[in-house]
């Protein structure tokens, strides 16, 4: 079976009128871009995978740079499906750079690992002093209707975050499907439990402000929420969510964005509007 070695390279810059445009773009299958558009807050860029999903041997590389004063939302119209692999694995590397005064939101649809799949994702984020970030990694447990929940072979999500040149976060999640099942059971969630790993960076996020209490209050009613302030004085935060199902996760994410939008107005954009 043939495999893909695809790349996505984007550079966003601010125009004199305040709007953001893609100054540079390059992509190769399985990456494809829908037409970007300015929605009044950010440049919305939809990254589309026109193939069925990710197969064994696929190697995907993304590199996104946001220039000073630019504001970009990177999203996707559908979930990323990782199919069964009889041997080998698939790999994705993501590199994001946000320059001073830039804003990047990375909010794709969830990863959906199918039974017997092996997938490794390495993400490196470099936010300059004065830059801002909202990053989301979302995960569904597999094809629930086919009884494939928690049945993947291996999933590794590796994340490194630097802010102002300083290493702020280094985390690695490397587990089989049954390992994630244990997390869901610990949270009191069922077979359809979904996960979100959120990281946001902004010097405007005062730790004593109401937004912090509002995010902590999300814990309950079928959602587990854990908020942590990351090291240093750079305004970096980690929020992890476990929800009973995809609907509950989407509601929680919508509420997170509403809470933070009072301080970070770029989050007033709709990541699901085509």
pLDDT digits (tens, 9 = 90+) for 22-63: 999 999 888 889 889 999 999 999 998 867 789 899 999 999
CA–centroid distance for 186 within its chain: 23
Which H or E element spans position 82?
A: strand 80-82
Please report which confidence band the pLDDT of residue 273 belongs to, taking 50, 70 and 90 as the band edges. Answer: low
Which residue in 77, 1, 65 sits closest to 32, CA to CA? 77
**Residue 141 reports pLDDT greater than 70:** yes
Mean of the per-residue pLDDT values for the chain?
90
Per-residue model confidence (pLDDT) at position 202: 97
Span 1-14, pLDDT tens digits: 567 789 999 999 99
> Does 8 or 234 have the greater pLDDT score?
8
pLDDT band at 274 (very low <50, low <70, confident <90, very high): very low
pLDDT at 235: 93
Encode 131-158: b = buried (16+ Cβ within 10 Å), e = exposed. Answer: bbbbbbbbbbbbeeeeebbbbbbbbebb
Q: List the domain boundaries for the chain.
A: 5-268
Q: What is the pLDDT confidence band of residue 188, given thresholds at 50, 70 and 90?
A: low
This prediction's pTM: 0.93
DSSP summary character for residue 8:
E
- Name the more confident of 244 and 93: 93
pLDDT at 270 > cutoff 60: yes
What tens digit of pLDDT does each residue of 145-172 get? Answer: 777 788 888 999 999 999 999 999 999 9
Residue-level pLDDT at 122: 97
Report which secondary-structure segment, H or E, holds 170: strand 166-175
Mean pLDDT, residues 215-221 taken together: 92
pLDDT at 87 over 50: yes
Which range is least confidently modeled, 80-94, 135-149, 241-255? 135-149
- Rounded to whole angstroms, the Cα distance separating 153 from 122 reads 18
As a whole-number percent, the residues of the chain with pLDDT over 90 amount to 69
Q: Give CA–CA dist 12/31, Å, rounded.
A: 17
- Per-residue pLDDT for 187 more than 60? no
pLDDT-derived band of residue 184, with 50, 70 and 90 as boundaries?
low
Task: Give pLDDT, residue 135.
Answer: 98
Q: What is the rounded CA–CA span in Å between residue 62 and residue 74?
A: 12
- Residue among 165, 194, 169, 198 nearest 181 (CA): 194
What's the pLDDT score for residue 189? 59
Neighbours of 240 (CB within 10 A): 16
C-alpha 194/C-alpha 189 separation (Å) is 9
Does residue 185 have a pLDDT over 70? Answer: no
- On the question of pLDDT at 176 being above 90, the answer is no
Shortest CA distance to 220 belongs to which of 242, 190, 240, 237? 242
Please choose, from the candidates 212, 269, 207, 213, the residue with its C-alpha nearest in 3D space to the C-alpha of residue 73: 269
pLDDT, residue 30, reads 86
């Amino acid at each position: 079976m043939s495999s893909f070695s695809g790349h996505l390279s984007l550079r966003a810059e601010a125009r004199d009128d305040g709007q953001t445009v893609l100054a540079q773009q390059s992509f190769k299958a399985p990456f494809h871009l829908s037409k970007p558009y300015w929605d009044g807050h950010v440049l919305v860029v939809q990254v589309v995978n026109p193939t069925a999903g990710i197969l064994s041997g696929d190697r995907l590389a993304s590199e996104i740079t946001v220039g000073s004063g630019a504001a970009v939302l990177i999203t996707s119209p559908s979930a990323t499906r990782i199919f069964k692999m009889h041997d080998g694995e698939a790999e994705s590397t993501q590199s994001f750079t946000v320059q001073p005064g830039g804003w990047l939101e990375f909010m794709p649809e969830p990863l959906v690992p199918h039974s017997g799949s092996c997938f490794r994702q390495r993400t490196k984020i470099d936010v300059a002093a004065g830059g801002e970030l909202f990053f989301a990694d979302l995960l569904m447990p597999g094809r629930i209707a086919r009884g494939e929940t928690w049945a993947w072979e291996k999933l590794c999500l590796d994340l490194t975050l630097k802010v102002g040149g300083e290493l702020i976060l280094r985390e690695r999640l490397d587990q089989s499907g049954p390992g994630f099942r244990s997390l869901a059971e610990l949270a009191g969630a069922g077979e359809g439990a979904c996960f979100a790993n959120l990281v946001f960076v902004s010097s405007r996020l005062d730790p004593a402000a109401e937004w912090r209490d509002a995010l902590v209050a999300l814990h309950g009613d079928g959602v587990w929420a854990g908020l942590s302030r990351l090291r240093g004085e750079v305004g970096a935060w980690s929020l992890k969510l476990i929800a009973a199902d995809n609907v509950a996760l989407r509601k929680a994410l919508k509420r997170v964005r509403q809470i933070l939008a009072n301080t970070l107005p770029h989050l007033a954009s709709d990541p699901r509007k085509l």
